[in-house]
Amino acid sequence: MTQAQSLNEAYKRWKNASNGEAENLLSLLVKSLEKLALSICWRKIPDLRSEFPWVVNEATWRAISGEGKFGGKSQFSVWFYRIVVNECNRLLKRTQKLRETTVGLDDIPLFGKSKTDRGDALQGVLQGIGWPDQTLIALKAEGWSTREIAGMLDTSEAAVKMRWSRLKGRLRDAG
């Protein structure tokens, strides 16, 4: 049985389930969704492996929460495939915008070349993070608001806040 057939079968069983077994069948459906989404990510965005969990979670959430929008004119797996491809395309679009606005570490005034141990530790952390996080730090250092950064990167304010919060934690741990 292919992944698509397995997903379609899991969806049918979940839709026709009684209240008592719906919860167990939902967890099986989610596992099938995640497995198919991951295989699509490997084909569509193989260079962005670190973002696979985000795409898989977002696509799965959209499919489960928007299940009422599924009209049944096609197989459930085809509908879900489109959701995953759209999420991959959104990620590629955001990635392109980030690359266009990337600022180098030397351009970050807040983290200049310091000779102190603390400065060296922070520089080590900064060297270990990817360009999206470097760009976020640079934009914050330049005084951009979370809302402005979210608009520039075509993402939500919540996503920017969460990424910024994680970065601050990493920097705090280093310093």
* Average pLDDT over all residues of the chain: 79
Asked whether residue 86 carries a pLDDT value surpassing 90, the answer given is yes
Asked whether residue 74 carries a pLDDT value surpassing 80, the answer given is yes
How much is the average pLDDT of 13-33? 85
DSSP 130: -
pLDDT band with cut points at 50, 70 and 90 for residue 82: very high
Asked whether residue 149 carries a pLDDT value surpassing 50, the answer given is yes
Residues 94, 84: Cα–Cα separation, whole Å = 15
pTM of the full structure: 0.56
CA count, 13 A, side-chain hemisphere, 154: 14
Asked whether residue 113 carries a pLDDT value surpassing 50, the answer given is no
Left (φ > 0), alpha (ψ -120 to 50) or beta: where does 33 sit? Answer: alpha
How much is the average pLDDT of 73-77? 87
Q: Which domains are delineated in the chain?
A: 3-91 (1.10.1740.10), 102-174 (1.10.10)
The answer to whether 32 touches 7, Cβ cutoff 8 Å, is yes
Q: What is the pLDDT of residue 11?
A: 86
